[in-house]
Amino acid sequence: MTDASTGPNKPDSESQTSQPTEVKIKYDWYQTETHVVLTILAKNLQPEDVKIDYHETALSCSAHLPSGNDYSLELDLAHNVVPAECSHRVLASKIEIKLKKKDGFRWNSLEGDPKATPVAPIPAAVLNAPSSSGPPKYPSSSLKTRDWDKLVGQISKEEEEEKPDGDAALNALFQKIYKDGNDEVKKAMNKSFMESGGTVLSTNWSEVGKDKVDVKPPDGMEWRKWDT
């Protein structure tokens, strides 16, 4: 009699144990003049579950996910980095890795053969530019910066120098006179305009202040007061 406990059909407990499998997770990268920043979109990890090894031309990242699966990323970097100055942090929504560039290159790709993809060095003027305490000059991602405050000033100056035509020019002139005038000029302009129904605008207070200003419509026109 065959013992069922030792028979050929006995399940192998070790073979039935599910083993963690490696999963693929999206990642992206961007760069500054001094660093390459790699973002791995793995969520809810603990710092102790993540292991990262830095090498001059390679990066190795492994993590144990909350699901029980394992994650692994191996990269052959396009250019050299400084391992001792690389760092990472584990956030609720991602792993963020900062790779310190060894040379002042703007990388064309994250992976590849450095000899096959030569790039020009970032201009020394950019790397050595003193930091400014003022607002950044946008766009900050471009090597060619533009001082937007200066541009706005130039536009305002052009608008001031722009000469309007017709009624617009006349109104602009009156506004300037009123703005630059003293109190008597302003009183004269207000009184003459209001009392004449907008047909007279005088800056002479010594004349306007003596009496009520009469309505003086333009030649060929008749003044009519609207009934209210």
Kindly state the percentage of the chain with pLDDT values over 90.
33
Q: Which is higher by pLDDT, 68 or 208?
A: 68
CATH class for the region spanning 21-127? mainly beta
Q: State residue 140's pLDDT score.
A: 44
Q: What integer pLDDT is reported at residue 6 of this predicted model? A: 46
> Can you tell me the mean pLDDT for 36-54?
94
User: 3-state SS of the chain: helix, strand, coil percent to 5?
Assistant: 25, 20, 55
Confidence of residue 180 (pLDDT cuts 50, 70, 90): confident
| pTM reported for the whole predicted model | 0.44
Q: Report the chain's C-alpha Rg in angstroms.
A: 39
Between 143 and 196, residue with greater pLDDT: 196
Instruction: Give residue 58's pLDDT.
Output: 95
For residue 139, is the peptide bond before it cis, meaning its omega torsion is within 30 degrees of 0? yes
pLDDT at res. 20 = 54
Domain ranges of the chain: 21-127
**Is 97:35 a contact under the CB 8 Å cutoff?**
no
The token duo for 70 is 């394992």
- As a whole number of Å, the end-to-end CA separation of the chain is 120
* CB 35, CB 83: distance < 8 Å: no
d(CA 210, CA 145): 61
**Residues 92-143 pLDDT 10s:** 999 999 999 998 778 889 998 755 555 555 555 555 555 544 554 444 444 4
On the CB side of 108, CA atoms within 13 Å amount to 10
Q: Output the six-digit token pair for 172.
A: 């602009």
Enumerate residues 6+ apart whose C-beta is below 8 A from 174. 189, 201
